[in-house]
Amino acid sequence: MAYDIEKSDAEWRAELTPAEFRVLRGATDEAPFTGEYTDTKEEGVYCCRACGAELFTSEEKFDSRCGWPSFYDPKDLDSVEVKQQRSLFGQEAPVVQCARCGSYLGELFTGEGFNTPTDKRYCINSLSLRLNPADGE
């Protein structure tokens, strides 16, 4: 698929830290309970760390206690794309990517019984995100 932002691996490596590259471009997950946004309650917009696209807001973030930031919906439905399933801890889960640059964000789980408007859990790596605080700092 063609994305609005396309770069070579060398270009991505020059812009991202090794850990960010491993997650965003290598489609691996950071260790649970280690990400900077797992427990944050700060208000704002979560953007793709690779390209800056607005993906999620603090309004959709909820505490799932899964070890990664969780959102029940993206900011705009067309800001992320959901792709093929992969096995995570023996459970099949669709992969979530940034619709603007194709970077890996995490997985999508449904039907887990969380008290959210959508009963969806976008389980997203902190290393895939950058929080732009609501106060503009």
Supply the residues annotated as catalytic: 123
Distance separating alpha carbons of residues 50 and 104, to the nearest angstrom: 10
* Among 77, 79, 68, 76, residue whose Cα is nearest residue 107: 68
Distance separating alpha carbons of residues 44 and 134, to the nearest angstrom: 4
Distance separating alpha carbons of residues 22 and 127, to the nearest angstrom: 9
